[in-house]
Structures are given as C-alpha cells and as structure tokens.
Amino acid sequence: MSRNRLMAIARKELIQIRRDPRSLLIAVLLPVMQLLLLGYGISLDAKHIPVYAYDQEGSQFSQSLLKRFQASKYFDLVATVADYRELTNAIDSDRCKLGIVIPFDFSRRLRDTGAVSVQVLVDGTDDNTANLATGYARAVIGAFSADFQQRWLGRQGLTMAGAAPISIEARTWFNEDLESRNFIIPGIMALVMALVGALLTSLTVAREWERGTMEQLISTPVTAQEVMLGKLLPYFAIGMGDALLCVVMGVWWFGVPFRGTLHSLFVATALFLVVVLGVGFMISVAVRNQLGASILALLVTLMPTSLLSGYTFPIDQMPAAVRAITYLVYSRYYVTILKSIFLKGAGIRVLAGPLLALTIYAALIGTLATRAFRKTLD
C-alpha cells in the first residue's frame, strides 16, 4: 500500500465532499437538527399532567385532598366539573389525562366505616404516561390517607402508631434528577453517528459507478484497499468531528453531565465509526446506485439503532427473542458505552465487555469491507 496514492484518493474525496453541498448538509446540519429536535422533543418525564376533578362532596375535607394534587409538581388541576359526563368528555377529547371523582359521602363514609375510596379515571391510551400518573396519584392519596390515619390514631390514644411505620429513602445514582434528557442525548449521539456514517459512505462508491468515474479509477494504479481506505478516511474525520459536536452540544447546550474520560469516548467512537463506515461502504459496493444504497443504509442503520439499541426502549424489558437479536445490533454496545461514559463516568475496565464486542465487530466488518470491493468492471 502506498501512502502517496492513499492520500491522493483521500484528497480527491475531501474535495468532492467540499464541493457537494448536500454532503456538507448531511455532515453538519443533520447532527445539529437531530440533536435539537430529539433533544427537545423526546421527553418521557410526566410533569404537569392535566387533571379534572369532580368533587361530589364539596366539603373542606374533600378540598384538602384536591389541594394536595394542586401542590404536586406532577399534576395541574385544570378544572373542577359539576357532572360525570363533563369529566368523561374531557378524557375522551384529550383535555385531561386524569379524572378524580370524590364520592358525595366521602367524609361520612370515612368516619362511619373507616374505608372510602376515591375514584381515579386514567386515560390509558399512552400507557407510559398513564403508568407514571397512576403512581404519582397513588402517592398523593397514600400520603393523605396516612396523615389522616395518624391523626386519628393519635386522638384514640394509640400513640405507638403515631409515626409512619416505614419510610423509603431513595437515592438515585448517575441521573440524580431523573431527567429523561440525560439518558436520551447520549443515545441520540449514537443515532447521529450511525446516520451520518452510513448515509455519507453509502453514496461514495455508488456515485462513482453511477457517474461512470469508476472506470477511470480502475484504470489508475491504485489498489482496492487504497481506494477503500482513501475513501473512508475523510468520512472518519467528519464522523469524529460530528462526535465532538454532539458532545459539545449535549454538555453545554442541554446540560447533560459528562463524567467519563474523553479518551475512552474517543476509542469507542473510533471503533463504532469503523463499523458504521464499513457497513455503509459495503452497501455502496453491493448496490450500485445511490438511491438504493441510501434507502438500504437507512434501513439497516436507523431502524435498529433507534429501536433495538436501548436508546429509548429498555432492552431488558423486551421479549427474549427480541433481546437475543439486540446482541447483533452493533449500536447496542455503543449506546451502552456512551450512557456509561456520560452518566456513570465508568472507565475502560467496566466498559471492557461492550468495547470488546465493538472491537470484534470492527475487525469483522473491516475485513469484509476490504474484501467486498474489487477492481473489476462487471
């Protein structure tokens, strides 16, 4: 392999990228757009859940329960309605997610029988929000009940039970405020790298075939390996630049913590880029037209990375068969590494497993990509 020829190909490719506004658009605008759009658009946190209340009793006591909902940062008590139909209508037309119905004999039943229940209607359409909202509502009502119970027991002279029996002291590690943004932004970075890498490289060889410049390239003394490496080097540099851009935007713009070391991030990103660029290159060699190549590239990179990498949907909750497939998805390892580096500050030692998997992938794809391209004209 001659360094001279390699650099010549790389330079040619670089000039081509520079002169093609579309490639530049993909390389620079796409990462920024994706980060802004997904960084702001993807939030799983349920705060300010709109609540309608139907207070049949309307007493001071029932109001004190509703006040607790109002005070919670998770709920917004939007309106109090006068009949059941209005409540169901509000849920049907998406004006609220939660409807609280306090029975007309709320205080009396509690006094006489000691047990009363508050009906909470939940719009279950969006199961995740519904799940979170139900949990928060249960906590609000539970605290209300416990407070009342303790006061009652205290009045009966049962002072032993004057305090809540147990309390949960929860400490959250790595993502202390439980912001979904903090775990989604590292995932978006993987998505961006996969997209940019595969989309850009999928075009390089296909373009030469489509425009007929491949014949010219074949008639020069460059070897197949030099063509491959020379073509991929500029994209590797662009990918690294995009990675840096993602980190800078994630940390300074979105305020995601960065607790790991830059060099572990650098190593992981380099390995991931080798895999992604290799896949893009192979697609480009196999499908000799640009359109087919980019559709295929999108299909094999975007879909698995966004669905099966664990970037939003937790892998351990998937059915066993799907979980087995995720081991084949190379982005899975990169997403794991990124989340660990950003949030956990894990060093190379903890990351050994996923890094090894990425290395194996890089070696495999690298070898296959080198073999894939041959300097023949058929």
Partner 1 sequence: MYRRIYHMALKELLEIRRDRWALFRLLAPPLIQLLIFGYAATFEVYHVSAAVLDFDHSQESRELLSRFTGSKRFELAALPANRDAIRSLIDRSEVFVAIQIGPQFAQLLRKGQTAPVQVVIDGTNSNTALIALGYIGEIATAFATDYQTDYVNRVAPRYAPFVPAVTMDERPWYNPDLNSQWFFVPGLIGSLTLMTIVNLTSFGVVREREIGTLEQIMVTPIRPVEFILGKTVPFFLIGLAEAALIALLGCPWFGVPFRGNLLVLLLGTSLFLLSSLAVGLLISTICSTQQQAFASGFFFLTPAFTLSGFAFPISSMPVLMQWLTYIDPLRYYLVVLRGTFLKGTGIEILWPQMLAMTALGAGLLTFSVMRFRKALD
Give the phi and the psi of residue 73 in degrees, each rounded to 5: -75, -10
Restricted to residues 95-124, the positions that interact with partner 1 (CB under 8 A) are: 110-111, 113-124
Give me the amino acid identity at 93.
S
Q: What's the min distance (Å) between Cβ of 371 and partner 1? A: 26
Task: Please tell me whether residue 324 binds partner 1 under the rule CB under 8 A.
Answer: no
Task: Please tell me whether residue 192 binds partner 1 under the rule CB under 8 A.
Answer: no
Task: Please tell me whether residue 196 binds partner 1 under the rule CB under 8 A.
Answer: no
Measured between alpha carbons, how far is 281 from 286 in angstroms, rounded to an integer? 9
Q: What's the min distance (Å) between Cβ of 316 and partner 1? A: 8
Quickly count: other Cβ atoms within 10 Å of residue 28's Cβ.
Answer: 15
Task: Please tell me whether residue 350 binds partner 1 under the rule CB under 8 A.
Answer: yes
Nearer Cβ to partner 1 (153/363):
153
Task: Please tell me whether residue 328 binds partner 1 under the rule CB under 8 A.
Answer: no
Contact mark string toward partner 1, 25..54, x via CB under 8 A: -x------xx--xx-xxxxxxxxxxx----
Q: Name all contacts of 110-113 with Cβ < 8 Å and 24+ positions apart.
A: 110/148
Nearer Cβ to partner 1 (50/241):
50
Contact mark string toward partner 1, 270..299, x via CB under 8 A: --------------------xx--xx--xx
Contact 276, 194 (CB under 8 A): yes
Chain Cα centroid distance, residue 184: 4
Q: Spell 281-299 as b/e; 16+ CB within 10 A means b.
A: bbbbbebeebeebbebbbe
Task: Please tell me whether residue 153 binds partner 1 under the rule CB under 8 A.
Answer: yes
Restricted to residues 244-273, the positions that interact with partner 1 (CB under 8 A) are: none
Please state the length of the chain.
378
Q: What's the min distance (Å) between Cβ of 52 and partner 1? A: 13
Task: Please tell me whether residue 70 binds partner 1 under the rule CB under 8 A.
Answer: no
Distances (CA, A) of 221 to 1, 5, 51, 87, 371: 11, 8, 72, 77, 18
Q: How many residues bind partner 1 (CB under 8 A)?
A: 111
Task: Please tell me whether residue 205 binds partner 1 under the rule CB under 8 A.
Answer: no
Nearer Cβ to partner 1 (45/215):
45
Give me the amino acid identity at 214.
M
